[in-house]
Homo-oligomer: A and B are copies of this chain.
């Protein structure tokens, strides 16, 4: 992603006090929420919604996740979550993320989620064509 100056997936988040743990920094699990929130935002930007999953009878799941925490995030921090799709096939794709703090521009975390699609019974299924075109093949605005 460092060599991709305009990652298509971009979302913003202001850290809330309920996302902190007793050491005063954002809890490690919350970063997976931030990645998920960025996916929500990107779906909206690409004209997709959760209602599509019912129509397609297929929805995405996280098959694998990885996060490297570089610097702590604190209450009221304005975060930018950047992301880009990589390694897409017919059955899975990976999103690479980077979280930065606005203001000092510090790079706080990076990570990946490998995503796959399943049918309502949880069985693996091909990525729906409309999702592929709008979410995966898009190269941003």
Interface residues of A (CB under 8 A from B): 14, 16-18, 20-25, 27-30, 32-33, 36-37, 40-41, 44, 49-50, 59, 61-69, 72, 75-76, 113, 122
Contacts and interface: CB of A to CB of B under 8 A. Distances in A.
A21 B23 contact: no
A40 B72 contact: no
A60 to B, nearest CB: 9
B69 A28 contact: no
A69 B75 contact: no
B76 A69 contact: no
Kindly list the 7 A-B residue pairs having the minimum CB-CB distance in the complex, ordered from nearest: A29-B32, A28-B62, A20-B22, A22-B24, A16-B37, A29-B29, A66-B66
